[in-house]
Each structure stands twice: as C-alpha cells, then as structure tokens.
Structure 1
C-alpha cells in the first residue's frame, strides 16, 4: 500500500501541473483549475483501501465538488456546473483561442483534468500494467496542447511532467516501498540514465515548440450568429447626427504616436450592389494576435451605451474585456452592451506608412466579375496622371490613382446617383467624376482590384492631428459622430495600408449636369421591358446535368454516398475496436503461456491447445484428464490425432515428473501445438475460422478450459 499511495500522490501532482498548464487555454494561469484534480487525488488517497463502490462514489463527489469550486470562485452558479458535464466541451470548442474566461468554460476545463486524474488513480491499482495510469495523463496533456495550440508545446510544462512520469515508472506495485527504495538506491546507473532520458525528451520536444502553431480545433458551428448593421449605413447615420455627439475617449500610453484613423469594421465582399458584412462572430479571450514591436496601448472609454464595436488603429492584439470577433479580426465587438463611462484596456498595431512599404509586398487578388472591365479605366487614370512613363511598381500606380481622384474628381455628399451599385460606380469613374465619400472609397477599391491588388473598404473614425491633446502621461483623443468616415485599404505584408482618395473640400453648391437618360438609378421609375424572344438554341438539360445545380455543392449521389460511408464508418469503428481488444487479450495470454522455463512452456502449450479446442466448441469437464481431453479433441482436429496425444503426454510428464532434456521437449510441444492449430483451421471455412478466432468461450469462467 505504501507504493500504491506514492503512485497516487505522483499522479495527483501531475494533475496539478496539467491544471496550471491548462491556463494557456485562457492565455493566463487560472488557479481555480487546481481544485478538481487536487480534490480527486486526495479522495482517491483517502479511499485507497476501500471497495470499488466507495471509491467510485467518493471520486464522483470529489470531481463534482472540484468543478463546482472552480465555477463558484469565478462568479458562476449551479447552471455552469451542469453545463460542464453536458454541453461544456462543445462550448469550449466553439470559441476562438484564447477562450474567454467564463465560469462554464473554466468548470469544463477543470472537469476534464479532474476526470482524467480520477481514471489514472484507479488504474494505478493494476499490478502487471504499472505504466497504464500514465495514459490518461498523456491524454490530458495532449488536450491541453490542442486547446492552447497557438502557444505551442511549452518545455516548462514538459520538464515537470516528464520528471514525475519518470518517478512514477520507478515504483512498481510488486514490492514494498522500503524494498523498492533499497533496490533503487543500489542502482548506480539510475541518475545518468534519468538525465539522458530527460535530455532526449527535451531534444525531441524542441522542434514542436513553435510559437506560431496553427489552431488544430475543428471549426464547429457557433452557438449563435450575430447579424451586423451595415457598417457603411451606420457610418452615414453617425455623420447625420445633428448636433454631433461624443462617442469615445481614447487615452494612449506614454509617447506613442496618436493615429489618425481608428477602424471599427472592414468590408471585403462586394456583390455589385453593396458591401456585405458577411461575418460570423465568436467569443474569444483577451488575446487576438501575438505581440508586435509597432504596437501601442491605451484605454478606450465608451461615452455612449448604444455602440458595441471597438475602434482600433490597426490589427488588435489584446482587449481586456469580454469580446466577440471574426476569424480575420476585422471586427472587435463587446459581448455585452456597454455602460456609459465603461473603460477597456487595449493594445493594437498601427497601420503602416507608405514610406515603409517595400516593393513587391502588396497583396494580390484574382480578378472577378465585379471588377471586369475596370482595368482600362484604371490604366487610363494612371496614364493621365503620370508625368511621363507610368511607374512599374504597384504602390506607385495606386498613389497615382489616389492623386488623380483627390485632384480631378469632385466631392458632393448629395450628388445624384450616389449609390454603390456597379453601374453608378462606372458612371462615377467614367463620366461624372462627382460623388460622395462612399463612392470614392468603393471606386478606389474596385480600381485597385482591377489591377490585381488585394483591397477592401474600412469604416471607423478619422481625426485631425490638432484634435490630439498631450500631457506627461500620454495623449488623449475624443471621437465624435462627425468623425465617422469610410476609406479604402490595401493589403501590405499582412497589414492594411490606408489611402485617402477623397478631396479635402466639398463642392455641393456647384451646378450639376443632369444625368444621362440611359442611366438608371434605383429611385427612378423604369418603363416595362419586353421579355426576350425565345431561342431555339437553348441548351438541353440532361439527367446528368441535373444531378447538381449549384457549382459549389457536391452532386446528390456523391453526398449520399459520403453520408452512407460516414454512417457505416461510425458503426464499424466500435466493432473493429472490439475485435482488436479480443485478439489482443488472446495474444497476450498466449505469449505469457509460451514464455518462461522449458517445463512451463510445455504446460503452456497444452493450455493454449485446450483453449483453442474450447473456442472450437469443445466442452471440457473440470475433472477430465489430459488423455481424456486429447480423446475428445480428435473430433475437432482429426488430422492432428498423434500430435494432440503427444502434447497431452508431454504436459503430464512436465507436471508430475522431471523429464530429461526439457528444452528439447519444449520445442517438440511447440511443434505439436502448431500442428493442432493448423488442423483446427483447416477443418473450417473462412467464416468459421473468424468465429473461432473471435470466440469468447475460452475467456468466460463458465466455459473456459480447466487446464
């Protein structure tokens, strides 16, 4: 019992280390996770000499109590404990890394670690497979690594876990604690071999410890999806507030520069009519990206409780509150509606400057139908604006388009046909060159995309440098509704470079030429259009073409086939596991019988033979002699009559006598066993051989051989 207690203590310490390591799931150590594994280990230690029922009841009580403690310490209640044992794993997997610090997710993590420590403590009672209890701890470590994947495999956790596993392996349950310690103390090679093992484990783990590992978790459907208001429409609504209202106050730490633009959303999908915010937001913890050298930090105050989007100067790094975001981090949104005066700490990158952009670092994008036909307009604008030959680099060409739109186009917030439909955008670029700021941003993005450049439209706030107030502690900015703006951005080395194609002054008082008659605007009534004449050249739709009508969808036959294969696979996996378990148990029993001294191998060969006969359907009486068993076994192995009786005689001689040259007799017994098994297999069909191999008769106490 002393060795067993020590093994449980070591497993409990491994559980505590894994609970601390599980804090990487939330990007910070959470001490409440230690309660469940510690409670389970202590109860297992206290009930070590009790029966199985007492141990199971005590383990369940300790696990539930530890999970409840983890939830209650973080402000949760009984519902969070219930969730931990039901839908908690699904909730944990439906969040991005790092997972948000919520009572239900902390309780779920504590439940997983505590349950595996409980299983390991029960397996520690096994005498033969004394290393089996390390398997649940290995599973727990793999799960912690998977759920905190962007952190990589931390060597600072591998070292204590590896040392504890080595200590656990040193204490087998066969000997007492004093005897085992005396044996280990006399082993001179123990210390150098342990040092070599630890060094080898660290060397193997080094290639795995990458800081930028991808998250291996499945992209399951979130529990809820958020429907966002069109960011461009929201920007227009803010601009139209009269009088303007203050929305945010931003305090920037230290001497960091105060950016002019603070982005709240970015739009990539343009369908020819509008920019669609097709985003799915998920809960996430405080960290959204790795730390960067060009980052700034500060405090954002909400002066209005109607806004939930967080304005940031660039890519978000950390936000110290409960938030939701999309996989590309284009939108960062508070999980709950803010209160007036609420403050949020943040750190974020700053948008790059054009002077810092290296040639060839502009992101590329394939041309699609929304920009087809606009390349000639972009090339014409570049040729007109260039003084001589146009520049060859992409950034220089984009800057020429930006300059041409600022100098040659007119900004008119109430221009006729000011929508974002592709027809109106083409008219704006080709004919009128007069529109609102949203048309300027959309036109620049579409012209850039027509040149193969990855570009998008951003919304947020834009403030002038004279609005920034500085003191000894940093800078402060107040974002007003009148600062709401829309601007284009271009991808540069994973960051987004902002452009400003909008003229500085409006010309709304100028006289505008009437629109051309053929141009159709959404507000203008349209005459009826006659349907096109029927054509005799319409393609004939065949049955093969009708299998799938959606280019992005799989054909029905393939989809049904995949579903059927998935169902069959789900049914076959448990069956294959059961087959592997039966064959493994029989193989291990056979290997144990046929190993050891020669007389033991002779008796083991006879035992294996009788087990094979029992699996073939033979019934052996408890008092049957070896000769009687051989006589009855001839019916099942008719071609091995002589070998079966020879094996019975050898087993009797090894049991009741001391035969000469037992090593030769052991080889003879092994040969006889092989002939008996060959005869048993030859007398059966393929299906009968499968049933014979998988029979459980020799494993059940009521039917197994008495030999």
Structure 2
C-alpha cells in the first residue's frame, strides 16, 4: 500500500509542476482561462503516460500526440467562444497555429485568452507532461523527469518578463513539489537483501556512498560559491522583455501619416467612408482615426508601437477628480481603406474584430486591411475637464513631453519670427495657444482644393505665400500642422490628430466630415483640442497687415576683390626680367613649341571630355528616373543656364519669382567705353516702356560697376524680390523677355507648374509634365546661350561648373 502511494506521488508532482507554469504565465492574462487549459493539458498528458506505461515505449508518443491534437482543438474552441469569435473551427486552428508565437510575444498586456494566445502554452504543457512521465515514471529518473517541467516554468517567467511582479510563492511551491517527488522516490537502504550481504561488503558500500555524498557536497558548494553572487545580483535586476526582439505590426505610409489623406477626402466630400450608430441624441461626436505626435520638418507621423490586443484595452491615465462617461458606438466600414480604425477617444474595448493598440497615442489598427461590411463596437471612456481652468493652467515640461516639443532641423526663419511674435506678450500657456489659434483663424482661408503637404516649404507657402498664387489657403491639414508647429516653437507640447465629425444620432460619415485638429497638453486637464479654422466665410485679413516676413538678403553678384588682389598706387608693378639665353640643350623656341603643343592637346582633350560629360548630365537629368527627379533635373538645367549667363538665381526666390527673374535677364551687348563710367554693356535696342521691368535696372551694370547709378556716385536701388516682387504681378513675365534681336525667350510656365507640383504634391507629378518641363528648360537654356557672344558661347559649352554645382555638400541634387 505504501509503495503504491509512493508511486502515485511522482505523477501528481509532475501535474503540479506543469500547472504552476500556467499560474506563472497567467499573471499577464486578462482571465483565468489559460491556467485552466494548462492544468488540463498537464492532467491529460501525465494520465496518458500512466495508462500506457505497460505498452511498448515506442507506442506512447504517437498515442499522446493524437490525443494532444484533440485536446488542442477543444481548447481553441473554448477560447474562441470566450473571445466571441464566430469563424469556422478549421480556420481558427490554422490561424492560431500559424501565428501563435508572434501574437503571444506582441500582445498587449493584459493578454486576452484567444486561440492564438493560448495554443503555444497548451501544446508546450502537454509535451512537457509527456516527456516528464516517460522519464520519471517509466525510466525511474525522477530528478531528470522534472527538467521538462522546469524548462516550461522558466519559459513562462521569461515570457512574462517585467510585465508582472515576482512569482515568489509559485517558485517556492515548485521547489517544494520537486523535493516531495524526490523524497517519495528514495528506496529504503535496509531490508533482507542488504542483511544477507557480508559485513565487508556492507562496509565498502557505505564507504562508497559516503564518498559520493562528500563529492556531491563539494561540487554543490562550489556551484553555490560560483553562481551564488551572480544569482544574488540578478534578484533586483529588471527581467528582459522578449517583446523587444519581435517586430510588432507595421503600417504603410498612409496609415503612418494619415494627415496626407485630408486633401483627398476634401476633394471627394460625398464619399461614404463608414456608418456610425447613435451615441448622442443630437449634435456631433468626434471620432479619432490617428494621433500624430512626431514631426521632423517633413511629415507628421504616428510613430506608434502597436501591440495585439483583445477586446479589453489597457486603461489610460485618467484625470483626477473628473467623472468618466462611457460611450458605446457601433461602426460599419464602407469605403474607408487602410488599417486605422476610427474610435471615440479614449477606447477601453473593441469587440467584433481583432485589433492592435498603441497605448502611448491611443491609436487603434486592424492587423488586416479594412473591408466593406466590417462591423465592430467601440466602448470608450471620455472625460470632460473644467475648461474654465485653462487661463491659469500650465504645461508640463521635461523628458516625458520632449517628444511633443521636438521639431525638425532648419526651421524657416519667417516661421520662427512669426512664433516669436505670437509669443511676445503672452506669458501664460493658454494665452500663447489662443493667440496662435486666433491668428490662423483670422488670416487664412479654408478651401477644399489646396494641395496636400505639411513640410516646411508647404507650411511656409501656406503662411506667407502670395494669395494670388495660392498662398494663405489650405485644408485643415495645413491649419492643424501650422498650429502644432508654432505651438512647439513657443514651448507648448502639441500634437496633430486626424479624425471625423460624426452625427451623434447616427448616420453616414463622408469624406467631407474628415478633418485634422491640433491638441495642447495642459497640467491636470490633459490634451485640449483647439480649432484654428476660420469661424466665418468673411474674407480673411491679409497676413501682411499684422506680420511681414523679412526677405532674405540676396547674394552679391560678384565677390569684392581681396586686399592682395588690388594693385597699390604707390608701388610700381614688378617687371619680370628676360631670361638669359642658354648655351646648351635644345633651343628655347623648340621647348616652347613642344610644351605649347602638349598643353593645347591636353586642353582640347579636357574640353571634349567636359562637353561629353555635360551632354550626358543633361540626358540623365531630363530622361532618367521618376517624374519628380526629372522635373528637379529640369530645374537644375534652368538655374545652371542663368548661372552660366552671369545671373545666378537668388536662393530665396520661389519658382514663380525665379521665372520672372529669368524673364528680365538682359542680353549682353557690345562692350563700349564711356569717359568716367568704366566698362559697361550697350543695349542694342531701347526697351519698350510698356514692358520695361524696373528689376532689370539693378542688373544692367557689369560686375565692375554693380551697385552704382549711371553717374557712378550713388547706390542703385535694389531689385524687388520676395514679397515685393510677388506684390507686382505685372513685373513677373515668365513668357516674354526680349533678346538682343527683339525676340522672346522661351516660356517657363510649364517648368514652374511642375516644380510647384514636386514641392507640394510630389506623388502627383506625371511623366508628361516632366517631359514638358524638361523641354522648356532645355529650350530656355539653348536660347539664352544663343544670345551670348561667340566667345561666351564657346566657354558656356566647356564650363565644368554644372558638373559640380549640385554635388557640393548641402546641394540640392
């Protein structure tokens, strides 16, 4: 009887050890289903091993595996029913087996007991029970048979990592169960068999046992001395989180920056995106699609780390003392694409589809693409703080909000000056935010056909661009992005949110309901939304009435000579003495002629090489690459032509202004000398008063007389640039500059339109547009070269400058 009880202890110990592994892993699960399923797997696998212990050993594994398949199917069916999944069982099993490991390691804590998050622990528990029973029961090696269960327990602790507290009592229970199993397996040293042994033999056996015990004690003491300090040092260390080695679900560029989709939705206001159920009796409820906290000067991005989540999402940080209102809304997808799910902020649970969640931003995605007919229910906890406290509220600082204060490098000077002006005199955080909101609402117009884009150049054009050329107009994309950028420049932690205004009584949400808005973080109030959109249809006040960005100073047309290059009037120039004729070797004439011939050959070869390289460069610029790259190459051809003509385009000019600058380029005439005026260029024909451009007057003088009036005594007025040039559309004539023979240089309108397309909507550039831009740039460069004297045309063809101008550090290639 006692022997049978001892024999039953070992299987019970194995069941307990495996069940404790389920307890250790279940600490990160949202319910107790995992622990129940792991305990069932332990009981089933050990029971099968006991029942088949009298069968041949090779038959146990196949029988156990077949029963494992049946138990796994039952366990997944139970988990699917608990999770509310209605897919067919074969589909559930296939998906769980294929994605069990990555979904377990990327799941949001607490993990919901779904088929894909329980399949791996259940299978591992069954296999540990099978191996342990065969080794401990059939083989009689109890300590070795406990190793599979110990490995399973260690794996559970590793998966939990730092996401739960220490498993103190479970670990002590695990050690106690191992000791009980070892104690029950020890056989009595006495008995008739040992009594019949001669005394000498008994003494030898006891001696060997004592020696073995002593050796084991020495080894154990050495292991404790060697490993003990390391184990003690790891007690207070933070466990490694295996989730950092597994890549969470990723999204494409449109889901990473859905702000770019605002302009497309604005152009299709009738597009039926999704249906919403009733949540309020009247009015609108704002749904959030994505939160964008990261900005690098080019794109506002979500920057999320999505974790697979169950129906219950982690509770967000709540505002103290503010009541929580629970809102439940059913959403049915129609034509909304991507993987982002619109939800009421802040979601507490999603039912009806699998989701992945970013706890930092509250953004929810579906691991698979959205499809028409998808229906899910969102339960959200909303809080409405007392906004009357805003005027006295402050904003948090330090590392926790550094992400919401970061902007890209090289902020445009005019945007920084505008931020400084709006912050001047507004010391309180809310006053600065309100000043930015009021400035944008009063000075800019919301339109549906504004091009997409929120990089620095796009926002500069939106904030300061000429109205007659499309500036100071935009969608909610530009309003929200400009507000958030200006807020960060004034020290306010801000972010951009993309979402929809949905009817509170339920109904259809269309593309016209999509919008973006900025939010600012305040102490004790959380994220507060602002509305910088115009409040009426009245004509907005021009920006120039309240803020005029200072144009950058144009670069000088030529560098002043250095002191060492200017001859002194008091020191006569040195005269080189003629060398004395040599008496030996070849004559001077022979050496000179040979050297001259070699130099001429080298110069001719270099010139031919430059000509070929220049032709190859033009061909690559205008024919190779994507349309945006070819348009950029056409712009380089245009600017290189002006630079070769001696009139480089100032860096501060926009494309339209640069074209106007090029249209006024005067062709060089015959060089003459006038007493007292120095070297000047004669104009073959008097300019037509109807088309004369005042800006050309600033460029008539040669580099020796630049900056002086015809009398040579007073500084000449600078040519209008920047806002001044933009304010005079009659001076911007990219289609008709006079040449030396009275003809007109080729137009540049197609090139200008293509460059603006690349700047504000690069994806919209087409191959035909690139072809037209390249043809105009090449025609303009060739026509401008034809107006030069013959020697300038020759130098134009062999000038190596275009080969390196756009390869310099900081160049635009």
TM-score normalised by structure 2 residue count:
0.50
The structural deviation recorded for 1:169 is: 1.7
The structural deviation recorded for 1:265 is: 1.2
Q: Deviations over 1:251-273 (max 9, x none)?
A: 559x9x99953211123455655
Q: Residue 8 of structure 1 aligns with which residue?
A: 11
Q: Secondary structure at the match of 1:290?
A: coil
* 1:265-664 mapped onto 2 (5 Å cutoff): 265-268=290-293, 270=295, 272=297, 274-275=299-300, 283-290=308-315, 292-293=317-318, 296-307=325-336, 309-320=340-351, 321-325=353-357, 328-329=360-361, 331-335=363-367, 337=370, 340=373, 342-348=375-381, 350=383, 355=389, 358-361=394-397, 363-364=401-402, 365-369=405-409, 371-373=411-413, 374-383=415-424, 386=425, 390-391=426-427, 393-406=428-441, 408-413=442-447, 419-430=453-464, 434-436=472-474, 437-451=476-490, 453-462=492-501, 468=504, 481-491=511-521, 496-507=527-538, 517=657, 522-523=756-757, 528=777, 533=802
In structure 2, distance between residues paired with 1:349 and 1:131:
55
2:49–2:133 Cα contact (<8 Å) kept: yes
Q: Deviations over 1:343-367 (max 9, x none)?
A: 4142345587763754434823344
Label 1:296 to 1:343 Cα distance change in 2 as closer, same or farther (>3 A).
Answer: farther
In structure 2, distance between residues paired with 1:335 and 1:538:
43
Q: Residue 702 of structure 1 aligns with which residue?
A: none
In structure 2, distance between residues paired with 1:539 and 1:345:
54
Q: Residue 65 of structure 1 aligns with which residue?
A: 70
The structural deviation recorded for 1:435 is: 1.9
1:22–1:144 Cα contact (<8 Å) kept: yes
Instruction: Check if 1:137 corresponds to 2:149.
Output: yes
Label 1:523 to 1:147 Cα distance change in 2 as closer, same or farther (>3 A).
Answer: same
- Report the RMSD for the aligned CA atoms in angstroms: 5.0
In structure 2, distance between residues paired with 1:414 and 1:137:
65
In structure 1, distance between residues paired with 2:386 and 2:417:
28
Q: Secondary structure at the match of 2:459?
A: helix
Label 1:377 to 1:330 Cα distance change in 2 as closer, same or farther (>3 A).
Answer: same
2:314–2:359 Cα contact (<8 Å) kept: no
In structure 2, distance between residues paired with 1:175 and 1:273:
73
Q: Secondary structure at the match of 1:118?
A: helix
Label 1:5 to 1:85 Cα distance change in 2 as closer, same or farther (>3 A).
Answer: farther
Q: Deviations over 1:132-164 (max 9, x none)?
A: 555443433343344345751376xx5466446
The structural deviation recorded for 1:379 is: 0.4
Label 1:40 to 1:296 Cα distance change in 2 as closer, same or farther (>3 A).
Answer: farther
Q: Secondary structure at the match of 1:298?
A: strand
In structure 2, distance between residues paired with 1:501 and 1:411:
11
Count of aligned residue pairs for this structure pair: 493
Q: Residue 218 of structure 1 aligns with which residue?
A: 244
1:244–1:480 Cα contact (<8 Å) kept: yes
Q: Secondary structure at the match of 2:243?
A: coil
TM-score normalised by structure 1 residue count:
0.57
Determine which of 30, 36, 39 is the counterpart of 1:27: 30
1:457–1:486 Cα contact (<8 Å) kept: yes
In structure 1, distance between residues paired with 2:343 and 2:533:
22
2:15–2:129 Cα contact (<8 Å) kept: yes
1:10–1:168 Cα contact (<8 Å) kept: yes
The structural deviation recorded for 1:219 is: 3.6
Label 1:258 to 1:309 Cα distance change in 2 as closer, same or farther (>3 A).
Answer: farther
In structure 2, distance between residues paired with 1:161 and 1:112:
19
Q: Secondary structure at the match of 2:43?
A: helix
Label 1:49 to 1:298 Cα distance change in 2 as closer, same or farther (>3 A).
Answer: farther
Q: Residue 232 of structure 1 aligns with which residue?
A: 259
Label 1:534 to 1:489 Cα distance change in 2 as closer, same or farther (>3 A).
Answer: same
In structure 2, distance between residues paired with 1:163 and 1:535:
75
Label 1:405 to 1:329 Cα distance change in 2 as closer, same or farther (>3 A).
Answer: closer
In structure 2, distance between residues paired with 1:312 and 1:537:
48
Q: Deviations over 1:276-324 (max 9, x none)?
A: 6676866432344335545543322124433364333434443234113
The structural deviation recorded for 1:238 is: 4.1
2:394–2:523 Cα contact (<8 Å) kept: no
Q: Deviations over 1:629-681 (max 9, x none)?
A: xxxxxxxxxxxxxxxxxxxxxxxxxxxxxxxxxxxxxxxxxxxxxxxxxxxxx
* 1:106-185 mapped onto 2 (5 Å cutoff): 106-125=118-137, 130-149=142-161, 151-153=163-165, 159=169, 162-163=172-173, 165-171=175-181, 172-175=183-186
In structure 2, distance between residues paired with 1:251 and 1:142:
49
In structure 1, distance between residues paired with 2:332 and 2:91:
34
The structural deviation recorded for 1:440 is: 1.2
Label 1:228 to 1:61 Cα distance change in 2 as closer, same or farther (>3 A).
Answer: same
In structure 2, distance between residues paired with 1:488 and 1:284:
27
Label 1:370 to 1:538 Cα distance change in 2 as closer, same or farther (>3 A).
Answer: closer
Q: Secondary structure at the match of 1:319?
A: strand
- Unpaired segments of 5 or more residues in structure 1? 180-203, 470-475, 541-707
Q: Deviations over 1:365-416 (max 9, x none)?
A: 3443263533222001223xx4xxx30x54543332223323x323231587
In structure 2, distance between residues paired with 1:309 and 1:209:
40
Q: Residue 247 of structure 1 aligns with which residue?
A: 274
The structural deviation recorded for 1:44 is: 2.1
Label 1:85 to 1:402 Cα distance change in 2 as closer, same or farther (>3 A).
Answer: closer
- Unpaired segments of 5 or more residues in structure 2? 81-86, 191-230, 545-653, 659-725, 727-751, 759-768, 782-799
In structure 2, distance between residues paired with 1:325 and 1:115:
33
Return 241-250 or 29-38, whichever deviates more: 241-250
Q: Secondary structure at the match of 1:124?
A: helix
Determine which of 29, 45, 53 is the counterpart of 2:50: 45
1:412–1:435 Cα contact (<8 Å) kept: yes
Q: Deviations over 1:225-254 (max 9, x none)?
A: 55645623544444455558583435559x
In structure 1, distance between residues paired with 2:13 and 2:148:
13
1:94–1:219 Cα contact (<8 Å) kept: no
